[in-house]
């Protein structure tokens, strides 16, 4: 079945960096756009970034633009989020999620979600 | 940015009764050429990731019980649970995908009365 498993979360100091990953299985990863969505403790959902199925285009929320980089390795069925210049307000559970359309040409909704990995920014 | 406003913030409904959640967008999310509303609904149970319930405002995701239905167009949308079950206790979110950035409503917590 379709499965997304995030990893790499942890505690990092303000101004630090962290890279989180999402291993995909059960579907043709290279054919689908992917998302990162985060949820601060006790709060709602916030879209963070999207990458096109072939990696040719990325989109970011203003809150992370210039600090976070989404990327993918289709040969390893893995999605990444490189997070630099981290701030306390980046503390959240980070979910990766899948686009519903094969070779989709835009951003849509998220039809499958992972369980998330926790990132804590604290000194 | 398109702001999504959900109401109420929480509601308590008796088992077997109807639950209605509203979602309002700050601008129309109806794409006229396709006549599709770019709205999705998710359910998030405690300690779990969100799950897709509804997309295109009214299309139920495969496997979602038919007691869940979505309606509305333009800027006003509704998620209805026709007969609340114990397993429906969750927070429900709407999300627009008409424009970037993708935005979510603040969530509605549904509890049993």
Q: Say what the pLDDT of residue B73 is.
A: 98
**If you write DSSP's letter for every residue of B37-99 in order, what string do you get?**
E-EEEEEE-TTS--EEEEETTTEEPTT--TTEEEEEETTEEEEEESS--GGG-EEEEEEE-SS
- Optimal mutation site among B57, B79, B101, interface A, most CBs of chain A within 10 A: B101
Over pLDDT 90: what percentage of chain B? 100
* pLDDT at position A105: 86
Contact (CB<8Å) B97/A113: no
Closest chain A residue to B95 measured between Cα atoms? Answer: A109
Mean pLDDT rounded to a whole number for chain B = 98
Q: Do B52 and A47 touch (CB under 8 A)?
A: no
Q: Using 50, 70 and 90 to split pLDDT, how confident is the model at A103?
A: very high
CB pairs under 8 A between A and B: 54
Q: Check B104 against A45: CB less than 8 A apart.
A: yes
In tens, the pLDDT along A29-86 reads: 999 999 999 999 999 999 999 999 999 999 999 999 999 999 999 999 999 999 999 9
Chain A residues in contact with B108 by the CB 8 A cut-off are none
Q: ∠B93-B11-B95 over CA atoms, to 5°?
A: 10
Q: What does the pLDDT average to over B7-32? A: 97
């Amino acid at each position: 079945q379709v499965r997304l498993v995030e990893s790499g979360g942890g505690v990092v100091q303000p101004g630090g960096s962290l890279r989180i990953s999402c291993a995909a299985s059960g579907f043709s990863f290279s054919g689908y756009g992917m998302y990162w969505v985060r949820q601060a403790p006790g709060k709602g959902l916030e879209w963070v970034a999207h990458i096109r199925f072939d990696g040719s285009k990325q989109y970011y929320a203003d809150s992370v633009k210039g600090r976070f980089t989404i990327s993918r390795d289709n040969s390893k069925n893995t999605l990444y989020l490189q997070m630099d210049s981290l701030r306390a307000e980046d503390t959240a559970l980070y979910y990766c999620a899948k686009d519903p359309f094969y070779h989709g040409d835009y951003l849509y909704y998220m039809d499958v979600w992972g369980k998330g990995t926790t990132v804590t920014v604290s000194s | 940015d398109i702001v999504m406003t959900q109401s109420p913030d929480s509601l308590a409904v008796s088992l077997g009764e109807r639950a209605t959640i509203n979602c309002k967008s700050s601008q129309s999310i109806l794409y006229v050429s396709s006549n599709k509303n770019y709205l999705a609904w998710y359910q998030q149970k405690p300690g779990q990731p969100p799950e897709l319930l509804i997309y295109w405002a009214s299309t139920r995701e495969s496997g979602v019980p038919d007691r869940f239905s979505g309606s509305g167009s333009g800027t006003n949308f509704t998620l209805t649970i026709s007969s609340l079950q114990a397993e429906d206790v969750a927070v429900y979110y709407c999300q627009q995908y008409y424009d970037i950035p993708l935005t979510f409503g603040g969530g509605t917590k549904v509890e049993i009365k």
